[in-house]
Every structure is written in C-alpha cells, then in structure tokens.
Amino acid sequence: MQAVLILEDGTILEGEGFGAEGEVFGEAVFNTSMSGYQEALTDPSYKGQILTLTYPLIGNYGVNRDDFESEKIQVEGFAVRENCHKPSHHASNSTIDRFLSDQGIPGISGIDTRALTIRMRAQGTMKAMLKTSSEKIDTDGLVESVRQSPHITEMDLVHQVTTKELKRRDIGAKLNVAVLDCGMKLGIENSLLQRSVNVMVVPASTPAKDILALEADGMLVTNGPGDPTRADYVIKTIADLKEELPIFGICFGNQLTSLALGAETYKLKFGHRGSNQPVKDLATGRVYITSQNHGFAVDAESLDGTGLEVSHINLNDQTVEGVRHKELPIATVQYHPEANPGPKDSAYLFDEFIKVIEEEKK
C-alpha cells in the first residue's frame, strides 16, 4: 500500500502505507519517547494530530490491552521510520499494523522521521495530510487541500474525547474526587483509585452546581487536546468552583485553571512531547524527569493579579510547568505525574492533592 505525508509548507514524503486505507488531516507533531507508542496512540490529547515518533523502530513489542490510556486510538494518523511486522513480547496479542487497521487509522512508514522532526522544529508544527491507498497516489492539488484544512486552534476538540455521562468508581472511601474529563488518560483515574478515594468522572460540559451536587470534596481537571481557550465552558466551571473546592490540574488542566483565574496561554512553536523533559520545582530546587504532551503553555507574565505564582519551570526553555495559588487550595502541573517516566518521581503530587482535600474537609 502506498502512502504520502504532506505538510502545509509543500513538503511531500512518500512511503509505505500500513494500518487502514484512507485520508486524514491534522496537525503534524513529534514525540521523542523511545517506548510507549501504545500509550501515545491512545492518549486523547493527540486528538486532531498526526503523530510522528522520532525513535526509528516502532511496534517491536507489539500491542497489549493493558497499556491503553483510553478505549481507542486517538491520533488521526501515525508516521514512523520502521514498522515492525514481527513483534516479540510475551504479552503481545497484535501488531501495530493490525491495531491501526482495526480502528481505521492510516499509517506511513519508510520515511526519514528525523529529517521530518528537524523540519518541524525549524518551521513549527504544521497542518498536514496523511493518505494511504492501494493505488498510485496523485499528489496534484493535495498541498492546497492541506492549506485549506481547519487549524487545530479553530476547533473545540474536547467534546470529541470527553465522557458522555457520569462514571462513578465508588470503592467505599471517605473522600470523593470529581474528575472534570477533558480527555482523561486512564492512568490519572488509576492513580486516584490507588489512593483510596471515590472517583466521579464527569463530562467536560458539567456546570459547577452539578459537581457540587455530587458532594465532591475536590476536583481534578485532566489533560486534553487542542487550544484551551476553545473550551470556554470548562474555564467557566473552574472559575465558579475556585473558592468551593480544592483543585488540581494536569497538563491541559493546568492551562484551563490558569485561564479560569485570569491568566493567558499561548501556542508553543513545536510543543513538548516526550518522556524526558526536565522540570524544576522552584520550592525545593529538585529537578524531575517528566512525561509531557502539549502544544500550549501558560504565559508567566500574565499571572500578575491572578493570585497564581509559578511553581515549576521547564529547564529546556524556561516555560511554565506548574502554578500554585497563594491563598486558595489550587495547584497545577503541565506534565503527567501518572505517566511514570522517573518512574514514579512525580507520583507524590497525587498524595499532596489528597492531603490538601483532607485538610480542607477538616
């Protein structure tokens, strides 16, 4: 099967198609992790994006049901240097090719993903098209089609990945945590359950009064895809609850919480996507190796007058990696403490969140 990946700057990459036959549009992004392709493919934060992995061999340990971050593949398309056809792992029950094919997601292999990454670092993330076909692909006019396609900043992607109904995980605990689902990774829910709290996952459109009616003791705002300013309904809910409940935000939740308190966000040139991002905790001076997946960041200069202060910074580019309110029980991080890149160096953030809830409840 033939395949082409076309960028809005006119770049056309030809390769071998795998997965499903079809044509998709999205924002081309890259991830630098050496493993974890299953988690990346099923991460709802990748909705609307065509994902490139910089590590050359993908699929070598196959696919298993235990490492999903959601119920299905979330990326629009997948680009790799080499697709492994014969994986080797005792838990594997599928190949990447079959995994993508079963869910209707096209992939391209045999391209120079490192050259592609260098281009995206220089030009920034771009709109793209990935097309696979059993017949010869005519690329005439496709660059213009990419340029005319919607930009990720023009779309509200949260409604495509949030839960459609309330989901309760009641384990008979004393504390109830509401999870405002903007595209939650399953690792977040599991991290809360491991700390003996009842979890109530609610749709992103849930208003503040309905969350309070659930008798929640605290609220976690999850990761999610796209431009946070497009999710104005989530921002309103957080603003309405800022003095009612302890709040902890992760990734997209960091941006939304900051916006709800009056700060601003901006789009990064090519984002942070990988499992080796160095983050410094300004309170302790300790540096953590973190897993990240985001294309937007909080503007540090916009925090004046919001009550928020920067708590963590990225040591690669000095961008905001977390904020904390000076008076209210509100704290956020831009990275993923549930993703275990350290492997568990940042898991304490969930413990701190639960401790804050317990103290507030007293």
Choice among 27, 69, 76, 338 that is catalytic: 338
Q: How far apart are CA 309 and CA 16, in angstroms?
A: 48
Choice among 272, 312, 325, 336 that is catalytic: 336
Nearest Cα neighbor of 7 from 34, 27, 23 is 27
Beta bridge mates, 168? 200
Q: How far apart are CA 13 and CA 263, in angstroms?
A: 40
Choice among 251, 272, 321, 325 that is catalytic: 251
State yes or no: is 151 an active-site residue.
Answer: no
State yes or no: is 251 an active-site residue.
Answer: yes
The token pair that represents 128 in the structure block: 């793209």
Identify whether the C-beta of residue 151 lies closer than 8 Å to the C-beta of residue 127. yes
The token pair that represents 192 in the structure block: 């809360």
Q: How far apart are CA 13 and CA 105, in angstroms?
A: 18
Phi first, then psi, for residue 284 (nearest 5°) are -110, -20
Q: How far apart are CA 86 and CA 56, in angstroms?
A: 15
Residues 6+ apart with CB under 8 A from 141: none
- Indicate the length of the chain as a whole number: 362
Radius of gyration of the chain (CA): 20
The alpha carbon of 182 is separated from its chain's Cα centroid by a whole number of angstroms, namely 10
Active-site residue set:
251, 336, 338
